[in-house]
Structure 1
Amino acid sequence: MPTERATLDQSVTVRRGQGHTLRVTAVPAIHRRLLDLCQPLDGSPGSTAVPAQRKARREYENRGSALAR
């Protein structure tokens, strides 16, 4: 996870609406790994994620999927 940590350390947090958006510039493989690490936010059974967290993860995944095409 050192590569992911380095990517997050270089990212920029932007205030947007009611929350914060984390801008991460990285190759698609890093974005896929970050999505894998936040998998519990997808609403799986036993998850403690709130709706806003699930939505944020879903939108991040959708943006990443659109870029990979």
Structure 2
Amino acid sequence: MPEHTGACHENTPATPELPVTLDMPGKVADYLHAAELDDAERVALDHGVIVRRGQGYTLRVSAAPAGHRALLDRCQPLDGTPAIPAQRRPAASTRTASTPSRRPQSDHDRSHR
């Protein structure tokens, strides 16, 4: 009955989105804690559970999908930033491939060939 489906949906209240739990990298969580957030976004971060992962951590956040999308939109400035800060990167000379240095052979080494 296609003619009745539109009327039924107009009177039905919107179904709330169920919360979803996602793990957020600690560096992203740190960035978001310093950002200006809406009240709902701030509550979601404040109620997150810290899970230790090696040297860093992960923040397990429960929020409606719309809340996660809003947090993700706030992270857009992080796109394109290096994962390792410049001051902690190895010097360019240690990152480039170079031929290994060869020590000069002595007469004794040459005689055994």
- 1:23 match: 60
For structure 1, list consecutive stretches of 5 or more residues without a partner in the other structure.
44-48, 53-69
Superimposed CA distance per residue, residues 5-24 of structure 1 (whole angstroms, 9 cap, x where no aligned partner): 01111111111122110100
Q: Does 1:51 align with 2:83?
A: yes
Q: Identity over the aligned pairs, expressed in percent?
A: 62
Q: What SS does the corresponding residue of 1:51 show, helix, strand or coil?
A: coil
Q: Distance in 1 between matches of 2:72 and 2:47?
A: 17
- Equivalent residue in structure 1 for 2:77, among 40, 52, 67: 40
Q: Distance in 2 between matches of 1:38 and 1:3?
A: 16
Which amino acid is the alignment partner of residue 41 of structure 2? E
**Considering only aligned residues, what root-mean-square deviation do their CA atoms show, in Å?**
1.3
For structure 2, list consecutive stretches of 5 or more residues without a partner in the other structure.
1-37, 85-113
Q: Distance in 2 between matches of 1:2 and 1:8?
A: 10
Task: Give the TM-score normalised by structure 2.
Answer: 0.39
- 1:10 match: 47
Task: Give the TM-score normalised by structure 1.
Answer: 0.60
Greater relative contact order, per chain length (Cα 8 Å cut-off, separation 6+): 2
Counting helix residues as a fraction of each chain, which structure ranks higher? Answer: 1
Tell me the number of residue pairs that the alignment of Structure 1 and Structure 2 aligns.
Answer: 47
Q: Distance in 1 between matches of 2:82 and 2:52?
A: 20
Shift of 1:31: 0.6
